[in-house]
Chains A and B, each alone.
Chain A
Amino acid sequence: MKQRTPLLRKNGFQTILSSLLCIILGLLVGYLVLLIINAEGAWNAIVDVLKNFMKYPSGAARMKYLGSTLVKTAPLIMCSLSVLFAYKVGLFNIGAAGQYVIGAAAGLYCALMPGLPWYVCLLAAVAAGAISGAICGVLRAYCNVNVVISGIMLNWISLYATNLLLKPGMDPTGKDTFRLVKEHKDSILPTLGLDKLFSNNQYVTIAIPIAIIVAIVIWIILDKTKFGYELKATGNNLNAAKYCGMKENRNIILTMVISGALAGLGAALFYLSDIEQWNVNSSSVPAMGFNGIAAAFLGGLNPIGAIFSSFFIQHITLGGGNVDLSHYCAQIADFISSVIIYLCGFVLFFKSVLNRFLDKRDEKRIQREKAANAEATEKGGNK
């Protein structure tokens, strides 16, 4: 007879449990900080953060702002996929932020300067991200440069390069690049009628279904194909993979190319929806890539989990903008999500404690059963 694994023993369930625990603890810490800043409005503030689009009383407004949240979730899903894909192969792609930035540069450049159609801009962004990822991969494979360090250097290089590249596309009335609606309508992602679902929110485009489809594709590649298995084997033990005849250098570079392409696609999905423009005087790398790290770990490093965790992170980040600004600041949401990532570092510890507890309980039960059995046979012998 096949033994059923108890729910608490299942790895997937444990992952969800620990992610929820991280979220609860993170919110608790955030609440404590709000209490310290100003005790009176703290509860309302944390509720505002969690409500986000739900704060609007009318259904139509809620749908509209849910749409906006989803528009910003799509790029985050891509960034978290980028991080988790590389992480499964043993590479910590902190450079996702830079690949995202350079993807934005390529996508917006194609949209603003020659005014190319959206699918060309999209491909340009993907290619730029992939090339940026490839640089990290080649440096890791042939020069033994840690991807974390090269990724961070590329983050800053990409940021300044993007400012330089997009300067000619700047709207002289502000600091941002031109709005695509005004200049090049063809470069905007098509909506395919999705905007109607969200109270005519013009920014809701095919970006959202694309992000979800890509997440599913990545899940299939990683879990269901030989290629994915090879990549994961390379990540687990480089030398063992080499010994089995896998091309370890090729696998590392390929991983970083795919990872970079995902981040680049994320940038295209965001900037080609025209919801925000690039500030050509940016002095810090956009948080999207770093939040991708949070979303990847919070989602238990599972592509499907990443969809939900990305939504949650974006939800509280946008909710942070709703707090009462006379006492608090919107960054409280960043604070909460960084506490959550910190806690994600403890997931392994949490799981091992849980398993030890379950082992002990099972051992006790088995002993009790044995004792009961022994007693029963003794009684039987006496008869």
Chain B
Amino acid sequence: MVLLLQYTLIFAAVLLLVALGGCFSEHAGVINIGLEGIMVMGALGGALVMRFLPYDASTATLATRFGMFGLVALASVAVGMIYSLLLAVASINFKADQTIVGTAMNLLGTAAATVIVKSMNTAANPDDHSSEIQYGGPKSAFISKFGTFELNWFVILAAVLLVVSIIVLYKTRFGLRLRACGEHPQAADSVGINVFKMRYAGVLISGFLGGLGGITYITVGVSLWKFENGVAGFGFLALAVMIFGAWDPIKIAGAAILFGLFRALGNVHAGIPFLASMEIPPAVYNMLPYIVSLIVLAFTSKKSRAPKAEGIPYDKGQR
């Protein structure tokens, strides 16, 4: 049961971070299908820091652990934001189709990460053609143990960012302006808000949160990551969480916990006597979060609360 709680929390944190990212981008009026790719690139950034920064788990003090955590998070955020610029430039400046560009970013994220890691591994050792990065030691820097329960610091960070997101979106001038650009950009423009700038801000914030979500995802339970596999559709699951959460951070948090629970069952079902006794094949547990999200969406999508102008490139000449 402790294990179930631990996995639920961490998966919920991943989904929450990424779904909030999607939420900011869509409130600004840009559909971000490319979150999956942003997660992969963010994860790569963080993993590289863990791989190359010297770290010795036995002599680490709280300060060095904190430094490690900060640098890993920073790298993921930076890479995620830079990568999200691909979407921003294409959809805001060039009025490209956001769905095509987002899809391309997903494919590009996995392909680019694989090429980078493989060529790095092969350069270090000509016989090594794997796309893996190992980070067992450094990962322990930001995991606190309470008995058998392991708390990943990224869970706390996600909770903090949830509060920050609520305040930014609903209590600040910036948030109001951002939302205006997703609802009615022409009206926003007419009162002097720079729609382009606001949309850039929305996409960059989604890169920030998506990158963090990516690094959080690859530190769940494992100490190495094979970048060929990408992030197994988590970016899309997060989009489902965002839609189910009706583009509202608090509801998104609830949805993330629900989906996190179903995802966690896939990892720990063998350890729960009641579930283990039913002998359901593991593939069924793997399917579960996706099936649940499909059913939930079928019942909740009728009345869509999506920002009205999302997906439509802003054209000054249009009314």
Does B298 sit at the interface, judged by CB under 8 A? yes
How many interface residues does chain B have, given as a range?
A: 35 or more
Q: Contact check: which of A152, A326, A335 meets B233 at CB < 8 Å?
A: A152
A139 / chain B contacts, CB cutoff of 8 Å? 294, 297-298
Does A163 sit at the interface, judged by CB under 8 A? yes
Does A25 sit at the interface, judged by CB under 8 A? no
CA distance A149 to B239 in the complex (A): 8
Does B287 sit at the interface, judged by CB under 8 A? yes
Q: A342-B90, A345-B104 are in contact. Are A164 and B281 (CB under 8 A)?
A: yes
Query: Contact: A328 with B119, CB < 8 Å?
Result: yes
Query: Contact: A284 with B230, CB < 8 Å?
Result: yes
Query: Contact: A156 with B240, CB < 8 Å?
Result: no
Does B146 sit at the interface, judged by CB under 8 A? no
Does A348 sit at the interface, judged by CB under 8 A? yes
Query: Contact: A144 with B104, CB < 8 Å?
Result: no
| A-binding segment of B48-56, B106-114, B154-162 | B106-114
Q: Contact check: which of A38, A157, A160, A342 meets B86 at CB < 8 Å?
A: A342
CA distance A338 to B129 in the complex (A): 21
Q: Contact check: which of B100, B115, B290, B301 meets A329 at CB < 8 Å?
A: B115
B131 / chain A contacts, CB cutoff of 8 Å? 329
For window 265-301 of B, CB contacts with A under 8 Å fall at 281, 283-284, 286-287, 290-291, 293-294, 297-299, 301
Q: A148-B99, A164-B281 are in contact. Are A332 and B115 (CB under 8 A)?
A: yes
In this complex, what residue of A is CB-closest to B306? A146
For window 86-135 of B, CB contacts with A under 8 Å fall at 86, 90, 94-97, 99-101, 103-105, 107-108, 110-112, 114-115, 118-119, 122-123, 126, 129, 131
Q: A139-B298, A346-B96 are in contact. Are A160 and B108 (CB under 8 A)?
A: no
Q: A139-B298, A155-B233 are in contact. Are A344 and B239 (CB under 8 A)?
A: no
Query: Contact: B108 with A153, CB < 8 Å?
Result: no
Query: Contact: A161 with B287, CB < 8 Å?
Result: yes
In this complex, what residue of B is CB-closest to A143? B298
A294 / chain B contacts, CB cutoff of 8 Å? 107
Does B209 sit at the interface, judged by CB under 8 A? no
Query: Contact: B294 with A154, CB < 8 Å?
Result: yes
A328 / chain B contacts, CB cutoff of 8 Å? 119, 122
Interface of A is mostly: helix
Nearest CB in chain B: distance from A241 CB, A: 20
In this complex, what residue of B is CB-closest to A164? B283
CA distance A284 to B103 in the complex (A): 16
Does A194 sit at the interface, judged by CB under 8 A? no
Query: Contact: B229 with A284, CB < 8 Å?
Result: yes
A327 / chain B contacts, CB cutoff of 8 Å? 119, 122-123
Nearest CB in chain B: distance from A288 CB, A: 12
Query: Contact: B96 with A150, CB < 8 Å?
Result: no
A163 / chain B contacts, CB cutoff of 8 Å? 283
Nearest CB in chain B: distance from A238 CB, A: 14
In this complex, what residue of A is CB-closest to B293? A153
Query: Contact: A157 with B294, CB < 8 Å?
Result: yes
Does B145 sit at the interface, judged by CB under 8 A? no
Does A145 sit at the interface, judged by CB under 8 A? yes
CA distance A328 to B232 in the complex (A): 25
B294 / chain A contacts, CB cutoff of 8 Å? 139, 145, 150, 153-154, 157
Closest A-B pairs by Cβ, 10 of them: A345-B96, A342-B104, A338-B107, A341-B104, A338-B108, A334-B111, A329-B118, A335-B111, A345-B101, A152-B236
Residues of chain A having any CB pair with chain B under 8 Å: 33, 37-38, 92, 94, 139, 143-146, 148-150, 152-157, 160-161, 163-164, 283-284, 290, 293-294, 297, 325-329, 331-332, 334-335, 337-339, 341-342, 344-346, 348-349
Residues of chain B having any CB pair with chain A under 8 Å: 33, 86, 90, 94-97, 99-101, 103-105, 107-108, 110-112, 114-115, 118-119, 122-123, 126, 129, 131, 228-230, 232-233, 236, 239-240, 243, 281, 283-284, 286-287, 290-291, 293-294, 297-299, 301-302, 304
* New A-B contacts (16) at CB < 8 Å, excluding given A156-B287, A294-B107: A143-B297, A143-B298, A143-B301, A153-B290, A160-B283, A161-B287, A164-B281, A290-B107, A329-B119, A331-B115, A339-B104, A341-B107, A344-B104, A345-B100, A346-B90, A348-B96
